[in-house]
Structure 1
Amino acid sequence: EALAEMCARLRRWEFMLVVAPLRVPNGTGSPVNPIAIF
């Protein structure tokens, strides 16, 4: 919902979605931090 509101406010519906994993030493998985770049 927040992304849709931002798109409507900027009147831009195309963006690059980047999913950045957290750095976990010796880990095999981690939570991600999704980022939308307009």
Structure 2
Amino acid sequence: MPSAAPAATPASTPSVALSQVKAVRGFNRFYTQHIGV
């Protein structure tokens, strides 16, 4: 699994960038739900 820093890893294709965005959004949703920030 790549780190949660998509900005540090340039995407080779738009599909990769989109998948990273979705992954980060999903992680943020999970994180905020459990931490309550």
Shorter-chain TM band:
under 0.3
What TM-score, normalized by structure 2, do the two folds share? 0.21
Structure possessing the higher radius of gyration over alpha carbons: 1
Higher helix fraction (1 or 2): 2
TM-score normalized by structure 1? 0.21
Q: Which has the higher strand share?
A: 1
